Chain A
Amino acid sequence: MKTARLSDFNFNAATRLAVLLLFIIALGCLSPAFAQDTDRTDAQMTNTPLPTYVIRNAHIVTVSGADIDNGSIVISQGRISAVGASVNAPAGAQEIDARGLTVYPGMIDLGTSMGLQEVPAVVSTDDTTELGDINPNISTIWSINPSSSHIAVTRVGGVTSVLSLPSGGVISGQAAFINLEGSSPREMSVVPEAALVVNFPRIGGGGGFFAAQQAITPDALTARDRRIEELRRLLRDAEAYGRAEDAYRKDPKSVPRPAPDLKLAALVPYVRGQRPVIFRAEREREIRAVVRFADEMKLKAIIIGGSDAWKVTSLLKERSVPVILDSVLNLPLREDDAYDALYENASKLQAAGVRFCISTGDAGAHVRDLPFQAGMAAAYGLPKDEALKSVTLYPAQVLGVADRMGSIEQGKLANLVIADGDLLEPRSNIKFLFIGGRQIPLTSRHTILNDQFKDRK
Chain B
Amino acid sequence: MKRLLTLAILSALACAVASAQARGGSQARTNASGDTLIRNATVMTASHGTLPATDILIRGGKITAIGQNLKAPEGARVIDATGKYVSPGIIDPHSHSMMDGSVNECTKSVTSMANTRDILNPTSISIYRELAGGTTAALLLHGSCNSIGGQSTTVKLKWGHPAADYPVPGATPGIKFALGENPKRSNFNIAGLGVAPRYPATREGVEETIRDALTRAREYKAKWDDYRAATARGEKNLIPPRRDLELEPLVEVIEGKRFVHSHCYVSDEILMLMQVADEFGFKVRTLQHVLEGYKVASEIERHGAMGSTFTDFWGYKMEAYDAIPYNAAIMTRHGIVTTVNSDSDERARRLNIEAAKTMRYGGLTEEEALRLVTLNSAIQLGIDNRTGSIDTGKDADIVVWNTNPLSVYSHPELTFVDGEILFDRQADIARRPALEAERKQLEQAEPNRAPLQGGTPPRTPPAIRRAYTDDDDDQQQEGEDNQR
A residues near B (Cβ < 8 Å) are: 118-122, 149-150, 167-168, 199, 205-209, 212-213, 216-218, 221, 280, 282, 305, 329-332, 335-336, 338-340, 364-366, 368-369, 371-372, 375-376, 378-380, 384, 424-429, 445-446, 449-450, 453-454, 456-457
Contact = CB atoms under 8 A, between A and B. Distances in A.
Given A216-B451, A426-B359, A456-B298, A331 B318 contact: no
Interface of B: 14, 17, 21, 125, 128-129, 132, 181, 186-187, 294-295, 297-298, 312-318, 321-322, 324-326, 330, 333, 345-346, 349-350, 353, 356-357, 359-360, 362, 402, 406-411, 428, 432, 435, 439, 451-452, 457-464, 467, 472, 476, 481-484
Contact of B457 (A150, A209, A213, A282): A213
Contacts of A119: 315-318, 321
Counting chain A CB atoms within 10 Å of each CB, the highest count among B314, B324, B353, B476 belongs to B324
A424 B356 CA distance: 12
Given A207-B460, A213-B457, A366-B313, 11 more contacts: A149-B315, A208-B462, A209-B462, A209-B463, A216-B457, A216-B458, A217-B457, A218-B452, A282-B484, A335-B464, A446-B324
Contact of B353 (A216, A372, A428): A372
A209 B462 CA distance: 5
A152 B428 CA distance: 42
21 contacts: A121-B317, A121-B318, A150-B315, A205-B483, A209-B463, A212-B457, A212-B459, A213-B458, A216-B458, A221-B452, A330-B346, A336-B17, A339-B132, A365-B314, A371-B408, A372-B357, A426-B406, A426-B408, A446-B326, A453-B297, A457-B298
Counting chain B CB atoms within 10 Å of each CB, the highest count among A212, A216, A339 belongs to A339
B432 to A, nearest CB: 6
A343 B462 CA distance: 24
Q: Interface of chain A, helix or strand or loop or mixed?
A: loop
Contacts of A380: 411
Contact of A121 (B14, B132, B476): B476
Contacts of A445: 324
A213 B129 contact: no
A122 B350 contact: no
A23 B312 CA distance: 57
A339 B345 CA distance: 12
Contacts of A376: 350, 353, 408
B360 A428 contact: yes
Contacts of A446: 324-326
Q: Interface of chain B, helix or strand or loop or mixed?
A: loop
A379 B312 contact: no
A427 B359 contact: yes
Contacts of B321: 119
B330 A426 contact: no
Nearest to B363: A429
A282 B484 CA distance: 8
Given A209-B463, A380-B411, A454-B330, A427 B360 contact: yes
Nearest to B3: A213
Contact of A331 (B326, B451, B467): B467
B356 A340 contact: no
Contact of A339 (B17, B428, B460): B428
A424 B318 CA distance: 30
Contact of B316 (A206, A282, A332, A365): A365
> Which 8 A-B pairs have CB atoms at the shortest separation, nearest pair first?
A375-B408, A121-B317, A207-B463, A365-B315, A427-B359, A426-B356, A450-B326, A446-B324
Contact of B357 (A167, A338, A384, A426): A426
A335 B128 CA distance: 11
B322 A427 contact: no
Nearest to B465: A331
Contacts of B17: 335-336
A335 B461 contact: yes
A384 B295 CA distance: 39
A378 B411 CA distance: 10
A206 B482 contact: yes
Contacts of A429: 360
A149 B318 CA distance: 13
Nearest to B16: A336
A446 B321 CA distance: 10
A454 B294 contact: yes
A208 B21 CA distance: 24
B408 A122 contact: no
Nearest to B187: A121
Contacts of A336: 17, 21, 125, 435, 439
Contacts of B297: 453, 456
Given A221-B452, A365-B315, A305 B482 contact: no
B317 A120 contact: yes
A450 B360 CA distance: 13
A371 B312 CA distance: 14
Contact of B409 (A217, A375, A428): A375
Nearest to B313: A366
A208 B463 contact: yes
Contacts of B409: 375, 378-379, 384, 424-425
Nearest to B319: A121
Contacts of A121: 181, 186-187, 316-318, 472, 476
B215 to A, nearest CB: 32
A424 B330 CA distance: 24
Given A450-B326, A456-B295, A167 B483 contact: yes
